[in-house]
Structure 1
């Protein structure tokens, strides 16, 4: 009897993920839009705040349904949460859904059967798109927590965007810092993501340079006339 942990991914699960990855990415953008309207619109600006809340609830419900379907199709039971820890984390914290961008790209390529980008281009595109979406999400979340807190230095959404840029790039000027516990937790997560994305881009660029120089070395010096 074979060990279930070594079984390949069920075909039905693979097909489901390929069909739903792009629509769910669109749903994640709608979730982000609804959350942004909810956070940035002033109190009393109805019915926009209610519409935004309904949009957030509807898209998150779609994420829950997708997670439940994939849990059942996987046949892994409780082990699914451990083997698909990123999916579980994204379900609990939907603002982290930009981290799944690379799976969206893979689903599109398999569906259209178009030539893939080079590895270096894929890493840079993934890191760039993830940084923008993740930075915007973090700025919204921190602004929601900080702008009304006593002694806060992040008072406007512009302050939050500046803070997110400084944190993602690991610059950390220190002129705008979270003071609430939730804000600092968001900052810690964004720091970790920023280091990972920066390391991915730097490593990919360095590897590309090494490959270019290696090719030049293999060509050897030009022959003398």
Structure 2
């Protein structure tokens, strides 16, 4: 078995475990942000879960790098994998890549391409928005002059940032919060564009089929 085949086999086998580790990481982070009043023992436990989950991401990335036949090409073309390894809160973006990999492994997918793109992109947007809301709440909750004090405030801000609406009623005031807002707006343009583009493609195809019928 050559390196390329070993890499594909490895990715196929670890994908379910990576998904579980991602959900566990997000759960541990959410508990630490939303329940700061937990006892020190529980907080340490969830902190350990966060570190262990992160270690799994790093180990898995290094394993794929080792299996890759051309490591420079792997790093250059799979840059998203490196980004979500360094910044685990961005791991929902890998849902799109995971969907594409699963689609290649199926000879006859059940859903139309446009529906699959919209479903996976929508799920990635939902998880990414939740992760961003947690991160900005963690930084903004006790900042002087901040309007983001609750999860509801943070969720409303995340929706505004993801959709690039920018009402301006709830905005981050810390440097890290503004950095998160900038990144989320940039990502939101791509995610929303993918959903709108897929839906438009589906409409055009349906109208063409009705016209030909």
TM-score, reference length from structure 2: 0.92
**TM superposition shift of 1:106:** 4.4
**TM superposition shift of 1:75:** 3.0
CA distance in 1, matches of 2:4, 2:210: 45
Q: Which whole-Å deviations, capped at 9, do the CAs of 1:144-180 have from their partners, x for residues lacking one?
A: 1111111111112221111111211222211110111
CA distance in 2, matches of 1:215, 1:109: 24
Aligned to 2:46: 52
> Which of 28, 46, 49 is matched with 2:22 structurally?
28
CA RMSD of aligned residues (A): 2.0
Aligned to 2:99: 105
Aligned to 1:115: 109
1:94 corresponds to 2:88: yes
154-163 or 63-72: which moved more? 154-163
> Which of 58, 62, 65 is matched with 1:68 structurally?
62
**TM superposition shift of 1:34:** 0.6
Aligned to 2:121: 127
Q: Which has the larger radius of gyration?
A: 1
1:148 corresponds to 2:163: no
Aligned to 2:13: 19
Q: Which whole-Å deviations, capped at 9, do the CAs of 1:30-80 have from their partners, x for residues lacking one?
A: 000011111122245232211110000001000011011001100323443
CA distance in 1, matches of 2:157, 2:15: 31
Distance 1:210 1:61, change over 3 A: same
8 A contact 1:25–1:104 mirrored in 2: no
8 A contact 1:163–1:177 mirrored in 2: yes
75-84 or 92-101: which moved more? 75-84
Give SS of 2:172's match: coil
Gaps of 5+ in 1: 1-7, 220-225
Number of residue pairs aligned between Structure 1 and Structure 2: 212
> Which of 169, 172, 192 is matched with 2:166 structurally?
172
CA distance in 2, matches of 1:81, 1:151: 41
> Which of 189, 194, 205 is matched with 1:200 structurally?
194
1:186 corresponds to 2:180: yes
**TM superposition shift of 1:103:** 3.2
> Which of 35, 42, 48 is matched with 1:41 structurally?
35
